[in-house]
Structure 1
Amino acid sequence: MQLSCLLVIVGGILFAATQLYVEAMMAARYLNGLANGLALPSTLSMAGEVVVFYKRGTYVSATEQMCCTLGIFMQIVFSVSWSPDNDLTADQLQGVLCTIYGAIALCLATVFIVESPVQLLRQGDGELAIDALIRLQYPKAVTAETNDQLTEHSSYVAHNNALSTAQAWCQALPALLRLCLLRALYAMSTSMLIVFTLTLASTRIYGLSSGPYMLFGLLRLAGSCSGAFVQDTLGRKLTQLIGFMVCGAASIALATRFSTEDFVRLPDLKKALWILLIFQYFAGLGYAPSSVFLSEAFPLSVKRMCIAIAYILELTIQLAVCYVELNVHTSGIYFYGLGVFTLLGFLFGHWYLPETKYLTLRQAQQKFRDFS
């Protein structure tokens, strides 16, 4: 975590110190990407291990989905509202913010971070595990709940230590396939074609107004917040099914707004814009459980590697879409495909994704062992 923070700080300094210097900006983005890739698997894995089981859904979903969508929203706000007459460009402002946030994160990682009690037990450090549990609760004292958590973590570690590497991968494979499909759909919901469609519709209808862009980011953030805060009440599965059902219908409705002609009528563009905004809210809602599933589905010895594989697939989908020709015909085909795949994902989630609300990590892992 400290290394990731340092990379973000260095990248931010490069952004802030240069103006229209492409090589430095590319280097800064590479550093930020490297930091993000280093942090995500450990963050999701650790988040599921340090939080009590009856709050795991909310905290884990908020850790990834809310932070990611908040970053998107902030990027949109600065990109569309920052005046070119200011001394700092929008990219330089981003660099300043990266430097500040990286420094804050470095301080938090150095002073307040608590090692996972699960990992400490796995290393045989029982006393350090108890100390970590005490630091993670209030009041900071050994209570009955502390002992219960220690017992459950010990059982979780013993269950996973009994698995060989081959057995761990065999148990992880069904969950990995399911969650790779889920994260691939997640990548499609935030791809370059989504941004192109938003820009096309907004520019044709509202000109240079920044309102639709801000509303786009705000609705995605609101959907992620709503999804995160109901993970331990409505549950993972119901949240995902509601989001997928609406997103699938909205995608197909959006695709019908684009005719086979090069010119799209203004009323169709206006409807497409509002459908796209609705889609973003329910996409934030529907994909909120994916972070929780990643944190709890895999055997302990291969958990970080499986999370990394799912994340690599997600980014590969994002990169592949960037090579698609951006035009209204492509948007129509893309949204038809996205709608069909999302509705299939709805059926897939109904049949093959388990409900893990109020389950311990050991119980949740067992739910993902096969395709039943």
Structure 2
Amino acid sequence: MLAHSGNSHSRFLVDRPQTLAVISDFFIFLTGGLNLAVSVGWSKAEYTLHFRICWYIGVAIGALIAPPLVQWKRKRIFVILPNLLVAASAIIAVSGYQYLSILIASRYIDGICIGLTTVSFITHVSEITSEHRRGFCLAFEQMALAVGIYVQMLYTALWISGTNFSPNLLMGLCNLFFGCVAAFVSYTQVDSPIQHLRNGDETSAIACINILYQPSILNENKEATLTEMKLYVAVNDAMSLEESFMKGLVPLIKMLIYRSMLSFMISLPIMLALNNSGFISAPNVINWHPILYGFLAVLGTVVASTTLGGLGRKWLSLLALLVTGGMFIGVGILYDDSSNLTNATKMSIVCALLMSAQFLSGIFAPSTTVYLGEAFPLKVKPYFIGICVIVQNMVGLIIVCIFHYKAHTEFIFCITTGVLMVVFAIAFCFTLPETRKTNLREAQEQFAEVITYKIF
């Protein structure tokens, strides 16, 4: 929303406080990555189905109760509550790491925390960041999840069998550490100027803008930002709740599908296919594949975070989705013949395809968060974001519940998923807008259109 002048370096200095304001949530999402990795199979022990899916249920619960809390009082609730929930989850896990029921309770609590934080984070960060910084800051959600997944994959892969130290205890200690860091840096969080304007408190809105944009005095650029925010609030307040709902319906359908693609990319079938192909293609190299696989996911999110504001969201993300779908189809074709499961050459191809797909999935993932922050009218925004998060996690839960590893089921999953990705990637070329360097009001208007041909 800020009309910056000068080069990208000066813009970085101007927008730097916006990045600092989201660091606390980054560490909260790290704990979510650890638990998500366990849900899709990255763990040292075999657990019950309830243990696998309880985190998904917790996220859905958190996303369900978050919207009214977000609209009520964001800062008071969401600076303290996530830290308390992460600490509670970690302490429960550490104190009873040898008991399955206690670990399940811990995973429920962390899931609720992630559901609450996801809705709050996307809603809040989209409002406090400029059009130049919004993509980078919102990408922190998927980047942190990828790092958390990688941490879980690393110590699972490198764990020495027979050690007296429990991996569940280590995970609890990691969550406790991340929660403490999140609490320590939570002072950097800043209220949303838009929320203050909606409450009729322009003085507090100006104070927040002065914190979020350097230098910390009101100047011409900040006055332009304030004016645009006022217009954004006025346009949305002028719509009734029914009008906001109807205007958000088309974006909601788009984002339900778009966000749910993540559940196919980070899933139990893909983990099982990777493990099998890694063991068969290189039997003498122990657990090399998860180390590289997790790194490529993190690398992909880092690449995406640095390009969402410059190159744009649309073409790179959809290209990544399209090629990922093609690679999944390739994996499915190889699984059509069960004899390929013991063929080192064929399994090395599967492994290479999944590695490449993981990197591209990392490039795709951050755009789902950015689009969620831009798509919906203000009155229904947290509710529609919550619906998208709930559906995404329910898709992941269903996959865990119904999938059983065999060549035929892997073939069906990869072919079906790959075809869906290819079809929707093509469809999104004509239905998703390119919102690079557009303010929230403009992005909201573009999303309301059923068809859009804008690519750059």
Relative to structure 2, which stretch is displaced further, 85-94 or 187-196?
A: 85-94
User: Do 2:97 and 2:169's aligned partners in 1 also have CA atoms closer than 8 Å?
Assistant: yes
Could you tell me how far apart the structure 2 residues matched to 1:341 and 1:199 are?
24
Question: Which digits, 9 at most, give the CA deviation of each residue in 1:16-45, with x for residues without a partner?
Answer: 222321111111101100100111011011
Partner residue, 2:10: none
1:348 to 407, 418, 427: 427
Q: Which segments of 5 or more consecutive residues in structure 1 lack a partner in the other structure? A: none
What are the equivalent positions in structure 2 for 1:187-202 lying under 5 Å apart?
187-202=263-278
2:414 to 330, 335, 341: 335
**Given the alignment of the two structures, is residue 38 of structure 1 paired with residue 124 of structure 2, yes or no?**
no
Partner residue, 1:288: 366
Could you tell me how far apart the structure 1 residues matched to 2:318 and 2:259 are?
15
Could you tell me how far apart the structure 1 residues matched to 2:362 and 2:210 are?
34
Could you tell me how far apart the structure 2 residues matched to 1:171 and 1:365 are?
9
Partner residue, 1:101: 178
Between the two proteins, what is the percent identity of the paired residues? Answer: 26
SS in 1 for 2:190: coil
Could you tell me how far apart the structure 2 residues matched to 1:194 and 1:333 are?
12
**Given the alignment of the two structures, is residue 25 of structure 1 paired with residue 103 of structure 2, yes or no?**
yes
Q: TM-score, normalised by structure 1?
A: 0.96
Runs of 4+ residues over 4 Å off in structure 1: 84-87
**Given the alignment of the two structures, is residue 212 of structure 1 paired with residue 298 of structure 2, yes or no?**
no
Question: Which digits, 9 at most, give the CA deviation of each residue in 1:179-218, with x for residues without a partner?
Answer: 1001121211111111111121122333472221011111
Relative to structure 2, which stretch is displaced further, 247-256 or 206-215?
A: 206-215
Q: Which segments of 5 or more consecutive residues in structure 2 lack a partner in the other structure? A: 1-77, 452-456
User: Do 2:374 and 2:440's aligned partners in 1 also have CA atoms closer than 8 Å?
Assistant: yes
User: Do 1:232 and 1:357's aligned partners in 2 also have CA atoms closer than 8 Å?
Assistant: yes
Question: Which digits, 9 at most, give the CA deviation of each residue in 1:248-284, with x for residues without a partner?
Answer: 2111111111133366222111110111000101111
Partner residue, 1:320: 398
What are the equivalent positions in structure 2 for 1:239-254 lying under 5 Å apart?
239-254=316-331
Partner residue, 1:167: 243
What are the equivalent positions in structure 2 for 1:59-70 lying under 5 Å apart?
59-61=137-139, 63-70=140-147
**Given the alignment of the two structures, is residue 49 of structure 1 paired with residue 123 of structure 2, yes or no?**
no
Could you tell me how far apart the structure 1 residues matched to 2:378 and 2:163 are?
50
Partner residue, 2:169: 92
Could you tell me how far apart the structure 2 residues matched to 1:360 and 1:70 are?
29
Could you tell me how far apart the structure 2 residues matched to 1:263 and 1:60 are?
41
**Given the alignment of the two structures, is residue 154 of structure 1 paired with residue 230 of structure 2, yes or no?**
yes
User: Do 2:281 and 2:345's aligned partners in 1 also have CA atoms closer than 8 Å?
Assistant: no
Q: TM-score, normalised by structure 2?
A: 0.79
Give, in angstroms, the shift of residue 136 of structure 1.
1.1
Partner residue, 2:49: none
**Given the alignment of the two structures, is residue 222 of structure 1 paired with residue 272 of structure 2, yes or no?**
no
Could you tell me how far apart the structure 1 residues matched to 2:130 and 2:162 are?
50
User: Do 1:262 and 1:328's aligned partners in 2 also have CA atoms closer than 8 Å?
Assistant: no
Partner residue, 1:367: 446
The code of the aligned residue for 1:135 comes to: I
User: Do 2:209 and 2:222's aligned partners in 1 also have CA atoms closer than 8 Å?
Assistant: yes
The code of the aligned residue for 2:427 comes to: F
Could you tell me how far apart the structure 2 residues matched to 1:88 and 1:115 are?
42
The code of the aligned residue for 2:262 comes to: Y
2:332 to 226, 234, 255: 255
SS in 1 for 2:160: coil
The code of the aligned residue for 1:336 comes to: I
Could you tell me how far apart the structure 1 residues matched to 2:372 and 2:398 are?
23
Could you tell me how far apart the structure 2 residues matched to 1:84 and 1:17 are?
22
Relative to structure 2, which stretch is displaced further, 75-84 or 344-353?
A: 75-84
Partner residue, 1:58: 136
User: Do 2:318 and 2:428's aligned partners in 1 also have CA atoms closer than 8 Å?
Assistant: yes
Partner residue, 1:235: 312
Q: Over the residues paired in the alignment, what is the CA RMSD in angstroms? A: 1.4
Give, in angstroms, the shift of residue 84 of structure 1.
4.3
Relative to structure 2, which stretch is displaced further, 46-55 or 292-301?
A: 46-55
The code of the aligned residue for 1:117 comes to: P
The code of the aligned residue for 2:174 comes to: L
Give, in angstroms, the shift of residue 220 of structure 1.
0.9
User: Do 1:171 and 1:370's aligned partners in 2 also have CA atoms closer than 8 Å?
Assistant: no
User: Do 1:246 and 1:279's aligned partners in 2 also have CA atoms closer than 8 Å?
Assistant: yes
SS in 1 for 2:185: helix
Give, in angstroms, the shift of residue 328 of structure 1.
1.8
